[in-house]
A and B are shown apart, each in its own frame.
Chain A
């Protein structure tokens, strides 16, 4: 059940909980662990009885990646704007909510599962213990969590508009801070620089011990020496090296011109930071036909067949292109008029590549909203397509590590089976 539906059913969702839903809706991975830690911090009065304090404390506990700061700001502003008067009830609602576990029915399944791992009773007990602790410790104070009209949010310290201004004079209010969206440029779904791309690509690495014996294996030496009754037995082993081989096919010219700068960054990232055992890159225009080119000027052709002979299915294949073309170009057989009969169509060439390289993906610099175009969606049935953003490269790494889905495999097989 969604938060909105729960409100509709008349039960009312505490503001505090609503805040969590909003965070999760913004893609923040807020877990029950974080949530308990935040309760702990509030129970200890770390937020200093102000919304500003709450903003800072909540952010440092709930967010663990600067890319999520912007999402946090948005969720915070959305939750606390206009309902600031309700702040007084926020924590008392939370308390009430915990006393009535039935309300946990409103939680979404993922969070409920996490809560169940901790144990509902345990959670309640922990919180109530803290509540009791606070009451004793801060008797007469106004910091403790609880019901009965005492608020953790600065009773009597509230600004007329409901937002208390910054602790030390001149501070900005939490809402103003959240609204400023200072961390917008840290979002991970934006386009990225060479180094960041390189770091993302490095996650593809697979370290393996191969090659000459160059390194002293201390554990092995100790083990063998002990077996050898203390007579020293040196064991050597090959050093760990990255064993990933990568084939990069880049679309250049025409509709790719606006993306040239970005693609060249990706290219240099793969070369400088990728650390691949082997990296080969070739160029194509619009669609891959029976040959690709070693240079961007298309003077040194290499046939796909010879490429496939030299590489095996352990290679990673990454195609970079906008996949944006006239449908005819995808079905067209070859750029060469004379080889019309022999050459397979562009789609068939792509299927051949997808079939040969189970670990493959397509990076599209165009934003995903344009991917419904006919040729793009046709290509997406063959290759997992990701945008050229940091998130996109992260997905790429994940995709390439898992085998292709059956539906993809059968589509590839179907194209290869079809007679032209």
Chain B
């Protein structure tokens, strides 16, 4: 049985690795939620890479409709062709283009389909995909074609919790919530992105980072991706690790993006500095 685990590019917790294994084994979509910046999207990318399977990505937006993931019928092009006499407009199949999920079904080998940020779409969106994800097949009424999955694709769905997903949809998913990494795991994650980081700098930066996250009332606590950017900035400017332990952190704007958070952190930092 395939076992998904950390690679040199992406670190997973044991529980997440298990959830991926379960989803693949029982053939259900894997729903990943978690704080922004905890690597939900990267999971699918790395999964495809580790398994050596093609990744098909479907970025969901507020206007995305479920059927777009399956196929699109380019009526305007067909109309244009009929008006201006380009090619044979009798063949509707020529104007049908498969969407990301449709391509995942039609692919000769098993593909990894990433449905990214499903919560951005309309409330009914997940429900409209229930049957297709269950049966792994759909039909195109315009041409009467039926697209069956040759190999059941591995479906990874990410959500940022902006909307609640319908129960019927949730029931069909294997779910994992990526909790915020503990310091030990975080050190590994940082090492993946900055293999040559100095131990002293890493330790001090993590110390400062977790101290910052502990401040009560932050509107948007800094996340993994911000920490990685911050360490890049620190290394670039060759900051002395000792400076990270007191008040007044350098490049605080890389970590905190909200004005209120910045002033809160500066006040909090000053208080911490007195001890």
Q: In the assembly, what is the distance between CA of A60 and CA of B174, in Å?
A: 5
B175 contacts A218, C-beta separation under 8 Å: no
Q: Nearest Cβ distance between residue A275 and chain B, in whole angstroms?
A: 12
A203 contacts B19, C-beta separation under 8 Å: no
A61 contacts B163, C-beta separation under 8 Å: no
- A394: chain B residues within 8 A (beta carbon): 164
B171 contacts A53, C-beta separation under 8 Å: no
Q: Chain B residue with minimal CB distance to A231? A: B83
Contact A203-B14, Cβ < 8 Å, known A46-B21, A46-B25, A66-B177: no
Q: Does B31 contact A (CB under 8 A)?
A: yes
Which residues of chain A (172-188) have a CB below 8 Å from chain B? 182-183, 186
Q: Nearest Cβ distance between residue A243 and chain B, in whole angstroms?
A: 15
A53 contacts B18, C-beta separation under 8 Å: yes
Q: Does A411 contact B (CB under 8 A)?
A: no
A-contacting 9-mer, from B74-82, B96-104, B146-154, B200-208 = B74-82
Contact A57-B171, Cβ < 8 Å, known A44-B26, A199-B161: no
Q: Does A40 contact B (CB under 8 A)?
A: yes
B-contacting 9-mer, from A27-35, A105-113, A375-383 = A27-35
Q: In the assembly, what is the distance between CA of A394 and CA of B172, in Å?
A: 23
8 Å CB contact of A225 from B14, B19, B79: B79
Q: Nearest Cβ distance between residue B135 and chain A, in whole angstroms?
A: 15
Q: Nearest Cβ distance between residue A203 and chain B, in whole angstroms?
A: 7
- B23: chain A residues within 8 A (beta carbon): 60
Q: Nearest Cβ distance between residue B152 and chain A, in whole angstroms?
A: 14
Q: Does A56 contact B (CB under 8 A)?
A: yes
Q: In the assembly, what is the distance between CA of A193 and CA of B179, in Å?
A: 18
Q: Does A413 contact B (CB under 8 A)?
A: no
Q: Nearest Cβ distance between residue B172 and chain A, in whole angstroms?
A: 7
Q: How large is the interface on B (under 10, 10 to 19, 20 to 34, 35 or more residues)?
A: 20 to 34
Q: Nearest Cβ distance between residue A184 and chain B, in whole angstroms?
A: 12
B170 contacts A40, C-beta separation under 8 Å: no
Q: Does A230 contact B (CB under 8 A)?
A: yes
B163 contacts A183, C-beta separation under 8 Å: no
Q: Chain B residue with minimal CB distance to A198? A: B162
Q: Nearest Cβ distance between residue B23 and chain A, in whole angstroms?
A: 8
B171 contacts A34, C-beta separation under 8 Å: yes
Q: What string of 1s and 0s marks CB contacts (under 8 Å) between A60-83 and chain B?
A: 110111100100000000000000
Q: In the assembly, what is the distance between CA of A44 and CA of B23, in Å?
A: 12
Q: Nearest Cβ distance between residue B171 and chain A, in whole angstroms?
A: 5
A60 contacts B175, C-beta separation under 8 Å: yes
Q: Interface on A for B, CB 8 Å cutoff?
A: 29, 31, 33-34, 37, 40-41, 44-46, 53, 56-57, 59-61, 63-66, 69, 166-168, 171, 182-183, 186, 193-195, 199, 202-203, 218, 222, 225, 230, 232, 394
- B174: chain A residues within 8 A (beta carbon): 37, 60-61
A171 contacts B14, C-beta separation under 8 Å: yes
Q: What string of 1s and 0s marks CB contacts (under 8 Å) between B120-143 and chain A?
A: 000100000000000000000000
8 Å CB contact of A232 from B19, B83, B167: B83
For the complex with contacts A33-B171, A222-B79, 17 further pairs of A-B residues with Cβ separation under 8 Å are A34-B171, A40-B26, A46-B25, A56-B14, A57-B18, A60-B175, A60-B176, A61-B174, A64-B31, A64-B171, A65-B170, A167-B14, A195-B219, A199-B161, A199-B162, A222-B75, A232-B83
Contact A31-B14, Cβ < 8 Å, known A46-B25, A182-B179: no
- B245: chain A residues within 8 A (beta carbon): none
Which residues of chain B (25-42) have a CB below 8 Å from chain A? 25-26, 28, 31, 33
B219 contacts A193, C-beta separation under 8 Å: yes
Q: Does B173 contact A (CB under 8 A)?
A: yes
Query: What would 14 A/B residue contacts be, using CB atoms closer than 8 Å?
Result: A33-B172, A37-B26, A40-B26, A44-B26, A53-B18, A57-B18, A60-B15, A60-B22, A60-B174, A166-B14, A186-B177, A203-B164, A230-B82, A394-B164
- A53: chain B residues within 8 A (beta carbon): 18
B22 contacts A230, C-beta separation under 8 Å: no
Q: Chain A residue with minimal CB distance to B163? A: A199
Q: Which 7 A-B pairs have the closest CB atoms?
A: A66-B177, A64-B170, A60-B19, A64-B175, A56-B18, A222-B75, A60-B174
Q: In the assembly, what is the distance between CA of A167 and CA of B18, in Å?
A: 12
8 Å CB contact of A194 from B21, B162, B173, B219: B219
- A203: chain B residues within 8 A (beta carbon): 123, 163-164
Contact A29-B167, Cβ < 8 Å, known A57-B18, A199-B161: yes
Q: In the assembly, what is the distance between CA of A394 and CA of B171, in Å?
A: 20
8 Å CB contact of B175 from A46, A63, A186, A230: A63
Q: Chain B residue with minimal CB distance to A45? A: B1
Which residues of chain B (62-79) have a CB below 8 Å from chain A? 75-76, 79
Q: Nearest Cβ distance between residue A342 and chain B, in whole angstroms?
A: 46
- A46: chain B residues within 8 A (beta carbon): 1, 18, 21-22, 25-26
Q: In the assembly, what is the distance between CA of A296 and CA of B12, in Å?
A: 50
Q: Nearest Cβ distance between residue B101 and chain A, in whole angstroms?
A: 21
B22 contacts A61, C-beta separation under 8 Å: yes
- A29: chain B residues within 8 A (beta carbon): 167
Q: In the assembly, what is the distance between CA of A29 and CA of B177, in Å?
A: 17
Q: Chain A residue with minimal CB distance to B167? A: A29
Q: Chain B residue with minimal CB distance to A216? A: B76
A218 contacts B177, C-beta separation under 8 Å: no
Contact A57-B22, Cβ < 8 Å, known A33-B171, A65-B170: yes
- A230: chain B residues within 8 A (beta carbon): 79, 82-83
Q: Chain B residue with minimal CB distance to A205? A: B123
Q: In the assembly, what is the distance between CA of A37 and CA of B123, in Å?
A: 26
Q: In the assembly, what is the distance between CA of A394 and CA of B82, in Å?
A: 51
- A202: chain B residues within 8 A (beta carbon): 163
Q: Chain B residue with minimal CB distance to A230? A: B82
Q: In the assembly, what is the distance between CA of A404 and CA of B82, in Å?
A: 56
Q: In the assembly, what is the distance between CA of A230 and CA of B80, in Å?
A: 10
Contact A64-B82, Cβ < 8 Å, known A41-B26, A56-B15, A203-B164: no
- B14: chain A residues within 8 A (beta carbon): 56, 166-168, 171
- B22: chain A residues within 8 A (beta carbon): 41, 46, 57, 60-61
Q: Chain B residue with minimal CB distance to A219? A: B75
8 Å CB contact of B25 from A44, A65, A218: A44
Q: Chain B residue with minimal CB distance to A168? A: B14
- B82: chain A residues within 8 A (beta carbon): 230
Contact A232-B163, Cβ < 8 Å, known A56-B18, A60-B176: no
